[in-house]
Amino acid sequence: MSDRLEELYRGVLEEIGEDPEREGLQKTPTRAARAIQFMTEGYRQTLDKIINGAVYHEDVEDIVVVRDIEFFSLCEHHILPFFGYAHVAYLPNGKILGISKVARIVDMFARRLQVQERMTQQIALAVQEALEPVGVACVVEAKHLCMMARGVEKQASNVSTSYLTGIFRDSATTRKEFFDLIQGRKTYA
């Protein structure tokens, strides 16, 4: 763990008028440093390490969907959390990916300072790179604390983004099949 990060968090506590030596805050710089390192571990991961050989040759011709993949990320503009669900689909072209690897790809990009739009695209393009499928679709739905807890303070707002490649972009029928498959997905009240 970074001693520098701990010192920076100690400085933040002092700057907001807190006493870092107060009983409840004595370990906060250490805990906060560990938390930010965990929330940004995606910078220290690569697609090859995430996949770790879990690409399998299969003669499968139907859409594979992994939906309701929970994630937490940090908005790069305010370093406040945004969180929600990712839904990822691909149409195989002779290769499939271990299902847990799809969730790990989501986490790799979520655990960076992000904007949701770019994260959605990165997830789809990583699956495209790993498998060279006929197409990839990714939808991300999230709540952003930078919008809920500050600024306009709209707690019920949700943000949805999508990124489509190949047949999901080119074929209205395939695109509709994907969106039908993720209907009934988790949403926020």
Q: Other CB atoms closer than 10 Å to residue 158's CB: what's the count?
A: 13
Specify whether 144 is catalytic: yes
Any residues with CB less than 8 A from the CB of 160 and at least 6 apart, and which? 139, 140, 141
Which residue in 14, 41, 61, 76 is the catalytic one? 76
Which residue in 18, 37, 45, 78 is the catalytic one? 78
User: Which alpha helices (H) appear in the chain, and where do they start and end?
Assistant: 3-15, 28-39, 47-51, 99-110, 116-131, 145-148, 167-170, 172-181
Going from the C-alpha of 76 to that of each of 23, 54, 79, 121, 158, the distances in angstroms are 31, 31, 5, 16, 18
Which residue in 45, 128, 146, 177 is the catalytic one? 146
Specify whether 76 is catalytic: yes
Specify whether 57 is catalytic: no
Which residue in 14, 77, 117, 155 is the catalytic one? 77
Which residue in 116, 121, 138, 141 is the catalytic one? 116
Q: In angstroms, rounded to a whole number, what is the distance separating the alpha carbons of residues 8 and 14?
A: 10
Please say whether the beta carbons of 32 and 9 come within 8 A. yes
Which residue in 6, 75, 87, 138 is the catalytic one? 75
Q: What is the largest CA-CA distance in the chain?
A: 62
Any residues with CB less than 8 A from the CB of 10 and at least 6 apart, and which? 20, 29
What residues are annotated to the active site? 75-78, 116, 144, 146
